[in-house]
């Protein structure tokens, strides 16, 4: 059975550290002016939708993106909640380091495994599996009941948090985690079944150039 509510997910747009090619992780960094402009455009992608509930991480770049989207839609009444479960992956000792310098230092293969794999460790940080284990329970316990009630839910979060959620939504085998990507400027609408798994998917995008 397809649930009556629609799940909508979006990645925050360009932050000041995205622009510099730095791993942000759990650090609080604001959007750039470009990020604000593109977040407004992302809101325009949902002009045909009613938003009943909204969620973002506790990190300011996610909150700013959500605010821009709702402001563009004129949906000032939508209840918005900010939760740690949707925070970006903790990059531990790599936080604040330049990604491309790190790629040179450790080599392309190790770099790709570290960024994309399901259970590749980061010193004092999180694996994608660890992110999954906090994002999915939040989705099941908080978001899914809203979808059952016919409410349309917008989630604005981060690349790895949304990769983790996508793995659940689309029943992606963990060995294929490296193939899952959440692009900047993309807004994805899901119709899901009673288990919260994808039945139908609609991807809407704005043109985006982010060095991340």
Tokens of 30: 């604001």
Residue whose token pair is 């990645």: 11
Q: Please report the sign of the dihedral spanned by the C-alpha atoms of residue 142, residue 177, residue 124, residue 10.
A: negative
Are 165 and 21 within 8 A, CB to CB?
A: no
The catalytic residue among 14, 64, 88, 126 is: 88
Interatomic CA distance for residues 46 and 62, integer angstroms: 17
Contact (Cβ atoms closer than 8 angstroms) between residue 54 and residue 27: no
Question: Of 60, 53, 49, which is closest to residue 12 (Cα–Cα)?
Answer: 60
Known active-site residue 170: no
Query: Has 12 been annotated as catalytic?
Result: yes
Task: List, by residue number, the catalytic residues.
Answer: 12, 88
């Amino acid at each position: 059975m397809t649930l009556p509510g629609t799940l909508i997910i979006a990645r925050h747009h360009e932050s000041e550290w995205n622009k510099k090619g730095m791993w942000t992780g759990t650090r609080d960094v604001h959007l750039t002016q470009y990020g604000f402009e593109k977040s407004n455009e992302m809101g325009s992608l949902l002009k045909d939708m009613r938003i009943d509930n909204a969620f973002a991480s506790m990190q300011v770049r996610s909150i700013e993106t959500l605010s821009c989207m709702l402001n563009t839609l004129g949906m000032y009444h939508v209840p918005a909640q900010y939760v740690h479960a949707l925070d970006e992956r903790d990059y531990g000792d790599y936080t604040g380091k330049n990604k491309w310098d790190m790629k040179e230092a450790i080599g392309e293969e190790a770099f790709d495994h570290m960024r994309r794999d399901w259970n590749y460790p980061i010193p004092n940080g999180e694996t994608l599996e660890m992110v999954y284990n906090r994002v999915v329970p939040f989705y099941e316990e908080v978001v899914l009941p809203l979808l059952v009630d016919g409410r349309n839910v917008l989630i604005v979060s981060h690349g790895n948090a949304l990769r983790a959620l996508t793995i659940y939504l689309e029943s992606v085998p963990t060995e294929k985690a490296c193939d899952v990507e959440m692009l900047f400027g993309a807004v994805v609408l899901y119709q899901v079944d009673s288990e919260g798994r994808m039945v139908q998917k609609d991807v809407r995008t704005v043109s985006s150039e982010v060095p991340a």
